[in-house]
Structure 1
Amino acid sequence: MQPFFFLLLILPSLLAVPLQPIVTVAADAANAARCTTAASLRTYEKCIALPTQGASLAWTYHPGNATLDVAFSGSFISPSGWVAWGINPDSPSMTGTRALAALSDPSSGSLLLLPFVLDPSVKLQSAPLVSRPLDTHLLLSSSAAAAPDGVRDGAGVQIFATVKLSPNRTRVHHVWNRGLYVQGYSPTIHPTAASDLASRATIDVVSTATEVPPAASATLRAAHAVLNSLSWGLLLPAGVAVARYLRQCSSVGPTWFYAHAAVQASAYLLGAAGFAIGVVMGRASPGVTYSLHRGLGVAAVVAGGLQSAALLFRPKTTHRFRKYWKSYHHFVGYGCAVVGVVNVFQGMEVMGLGGTYWKLAYCLALASLVGSCVALEVNAWVVFCRREGGGGEGDNEGAVKRRLSF
């Protein structure tokens, strides 16, 4: 448990870092050095280096007819991957974006550019992303040009488009990203690192001023991960184990109850703090939503709150409703522990920690807890069987009642 105490010691410093406001920047000498107005098809008036993935954007705005000629430059991260750029008419977020994705044609191997509309179902990943025509009033023309050596890891790609804007509207929400795989003609989910989640910006096509929505700070992400892993992922199941196995020891008396209550209360307070940090992170990242992770987190917090409230209405041991209260308490408690552990793994996937030492450390700690519970469970059944085989009928009946009372 020493690593967890170390994590608790560093939490105050993690939580002391404030969120940053929306950053507004303009194209400067550094940005100009990273972008070029000369593309493979034509030369544009302005360009800007986008804040993530080494991408850049060049454009020419025609105020007379409110059209925008755009050249997006990105790079592949896999020979079987994809690169996409799009415009969101409403907000700087993925949902609602009209995107153009460059990918390798599975049948011919040549570069292919397909249009996609990213509706809310994309986040749920309930079905493959299917190409469909974009709004005719928005996209007037599009094409793509890849590096001469074809699609490969690190190969550059340019996406060209002519977009119709609303009159007198010069601020445009740009969204871009890239992924590792394409299934058929359907791009799969992109990586979820901080840079991938921040691939969006609002650019004024006249002044080149850029508004970049803030990403949650690394310290807040670390605090959120540590608090929730420790509370929902370890302490809460440990509190369940304390109640289940210490209660069978008649020598400890009511100590098991106070230990159980103390561990669960600590787990819930730390978990509530981690949940609050998650809410703050969500508000700091508009347009980025993890529905499953958020839903499981809300379910865990609600179940934990119900467990805490249940203590205020606990009937006496002789009350006729006591057995119903116990059934409710056990069912909600076990459910909360399971949901908490599942959501810890879901959160690791969201944060891109699926193959890191953080996940390995948590798995080892959880495996140790599960192994201890298995050993205690076996020991409890051995003791129960011995009592059943060696005691009288009255002793057997009492043992059965004690065993089933939990």
Structure 2
Amino acid sequence: MPLLFVLVFLSSYVRTAFSAHCSTTTATKTFEKCMALPTQQASMAWTFHAHNATLDLVFFGTFISPSGWVGWGINPSSAEMTGTRALVAFPDPNSGLLVLLPFILDPTVKLQKSPPLSRPLDIQLLSSSATLYGGKMATIHNGAAVQIYATLKLARNKTKIHLVWNRGLYVQGYSPAIHPTTSNDLSSIATIDVLYGFSSAHKDDTRTLKTVHGILNAISWGVLLPIGAVTARYLRHIQALGPAWFYAHAGIQLSALLIGTVGFATGIRLGELSPGVVYGLHRKLGFAAFSFGALQTLALLFRPKTTNKFRKYWKSYHHFVGYACVVLGVVNVFQGLEVMGESRSYAKLGYCLCLSTLIGACIALEVNSWVVFCRKSKEEKLRREGLIGGGSDKDSGSHG
């Protein structure tokens, strides 16, 4: 089942990665190169005139609300939102017609201290315009495609640009409101070489690391850890297994912790590669689950013997921390899927099927345990009342 989940997760990731496409042709212009951008099904096309360092560019985006906005921009210094010189398209609050305004995204915009105000850009923007896909008869609605054109002059011998793009649900007057903060929305940044037509590998590495992080943690905290708990609860009462249940339980849990440690480390690395991007709840749940898992492992070193009077307290502690770790792990897997923008994906469906199978097995084993318990209790009661024999043949044989 874990292998099935991995395959489903990978297929979902590959499907998402290749779902976008690009085109070099619009209704009014043809460009030399194009590129599908990694998020929001956005793309861009451009022609770079090396002799005068002029860049003709069109950005393809989609609205997520009839009163929303779509924008893209260039950050002259670094691959981040703060400092971006942006062009934002949205419906005019008065006429409803599409308007395109320039914005400089200074730190106050990110901190939401004040709404962004349109002002001229301090880069060499030669021309700009925006049009809806479908021409004059097109209307702005959820899913409406927009094309934002720009011609700008780059610095000599500088062919790499830091492209930033995003979209939001509404505007306040003539100021775009904050965009959604899902993983995809916060990752809408790419560094592109307009001369050779490729993007920086940094973002691709980050996306790959996110996928590895998700798979490792889903398998360890979300699948193996619950299986280990189920093994201890239901196999320990099978006398034919002897101590084998304990070795199976310990082996599964230690494997989960080792894989989970690698997944936890990739999460720390992702945080280092994404300055300013913090998923508070996911991060806290991850630290809590890892801490509880480490405590469980350390508890093995202080496990009292069965005859020790403190054994019952150790068992209570072990059960509480263990089940808490399982709950935190499963909840954080779902939280991680939300963070990655996979809340309605085959990856989540695969994990839900895996978890449902495990829960179904637990219910069946729990019912079986109660049936066996009730049967033994009834037999014990009948034995005490003398209605059934208890080893009389063996006793009579010994007297003979």
Task: Tell me if both proteins adopt one fold, taking TM over 0.5 as the criterion.
Answer: yes
Aligned residues: 348
Query: Deviations for 1:321-343, whole angstroms, at most 9, x for unmatched residues?
Result: 43443333222222221222223
Q: Secondary structure at the match of 2:166?
A: strand
Look up the SS of the partner of 1:243 in the other structure. helix
Of residues 156, 180, 186, the one that matches 2:177 is: 186
- Matching of residue 201 in structure 1 with residue 191 in structure 2: yes
SS of 2:115 mapped into structure 1: coil
Structure-1 residue corresponding to 2:220: 231
Change (3 A) 1:130 1:247: farther
CA 1:339 to 1:143, structure 2 compared with 1: closer, same or farther past 3 Å?
farther
Name the structure 2 match of 1:15. none
User: Aligned partners of 1:218, 1:158: CA distance in 2, in Å?
Assistant: 26
Q: How does 1:371-382 map to 2 (within 5 A)?
A: 371-382=360-371
Residue deviations 1:140-180, cap 9 Å, x none?
Answer: 999863345354656434377999x9xx9x89973422347
- By how many angstroms is 1:390 displaced? 6.6
Structure 1 residues 177 and 388, CA gap change in structure 2 (3 angstroms): farther
- Taking a change above 3 Å as real, the CA distance of residues 5 and 186 of structure 1, as seen in their structure-2 partners, is closer
**Residue by residue, what CA displacement relative to the aligned partner does 1:255-311 show, whole Å, maximum 9, x if unpaired?**
32211101111112222233344455555x544845244443343333222221221
Distance 1:315 1:79, change over 3 A: closer
* Residue 337 in structure 1 maps to residue 326 in structure 2: yes
Alignment map for 1:85-234 (pairs within 5 Å): 85-86=72-73, 88=75, 91-94=78-81, 97=84, 99-105=86-92, 108-112=95-99, 115=103, 117=105, 131-133=115-117, 145-147=130-132, 148-149=135-136, 150=138, 151=140, 153=143, 155-158=145-148, 174-179=162-167, 181-182=169-170, 186=177, 188-189=179-180, 192=183, 197=187, 199-201=189-191, 212=200, 214=202, 215-216=204-205, 222-234=211-223
Cα distance change of structure 1 residues 295 and 97 upon mapping to structure 2, 3 Å threshold: farther
The alpha-carbon distance between structure 1 residues 368 and 48, as it changes in their structure 2 partners (threshold 3 A), is closer
Query: Contact (CA 8 Å) 2:6, 2:215: kept in 1 or not?
Result: no
Maintained 8 Å contact 2:78/2:162: no
149-158 or 304-313, which deviates more: 149-158
Contact (CA 8 Å) 2:84, 2:164: kept in 1 or not? no
Checking the alignment, whether the CA contact within 8 Å between 2:228 and 2:249 is kept in structure 1 is yes
- Judge conservation of contact 2:5–2:351 (CA < 8 Å) in 1: no
Give the CA deviation at 1:369: 0.1
| Residue 367 in structure 1 maps to residue 352 in structure 2 | no
User: Percent identity at matched positions?
Assistant: 40
**2-side partners of 1:121 and 1:256: how far apart?**
58
State how far apart, in whole Å, the 1-side matches of 2:170 and 2:350 are: 32
Write the letter of the residue equivalent to 1:305.
A
Offset at residue 103 of structure 1 (A): 2.5
CA contact (8 A) 2:164 2:188 kept: no
Query: Cα distance, 1:368 vs. partner?
Result: 0.5
In the alignment, which residue of structure 1 is the partner of 2:264? 275
- Per-residue CA deviation, residues 43-87 of structure 1 (Å, 9 max, x unaligned), is xxxx99677333257999xxxxxxxx9986322324625322245
Work out whether residues 56 and 150 of structure 2, in 8 Å CA contact, stay in contact via their aligned partners in 1: yes
Q: Which residue of 1 aligns with 2:71?
A: 84
Pick closer, same or farther for the CA change 1:192–1:179 going to 2, 3 Å. Answer: farther
CA distance in 2, matches of 1:264, 1:96: 47
* Aligned-partner Cα distance in 2 for 1:237–1:121: 44
State the TM-score, normalized to the length of structure 2: 0.63
Q: What amino acid is the match of 2:78?
A: S
Alpha-carbon deviation of 1:381? Answer: 4.0
TM-score, structure 1 normalization: 0.63
TM alignment of 1:11-26, pairs within 5 A: none
Deviation at 1:202?
Answer: 7.3
Please give the alpha-carbon distance, in whole angstroms, between the structure 1 residues aligned to 2:36 and 2:284.
Answer: 31
1:146, 1:158 within 8 Å by CA — same for their partners in 2?
yes
Residue 237 (structure 1) shift: 0.5
Q: 1:192 to 1:218 in 2, by over 3 A?
A: closer
Classify 1:339/1:138 alpha carbon distance in 2 versus 1 (closer, same or farther; 3 Å).
farther
Which residue does 1:248 correspond to in 2? 237
For each residue in 1:101-139, what CA deviation from the matched residue of structure 2 results, as whole angstroms up to 9, or x when unmatched?
3223567533355758586997xxxx9997334899969
Task: Indicate whether 1:357 and 2:322 are aligned.
Answer: no
Alpha-carbon shift at residue 247 of structure 1 (Å): 2.7
Is the 8 Å Cα contact of residues 93 and 286 (structure 1) preserved in structure 2?
A: no
Q: Is the 8 A contact 1:180 1:190 kept in 2?
A: no
What does residue range 303-342 of structure 1 map to in structure 2 within 5 Å? Answer: 303-342=292-331
Equivalence map 1:377-396=2 (5 Å): 377-384=366-373
| Equivalent residue, structure 2, for 1:296 | 285
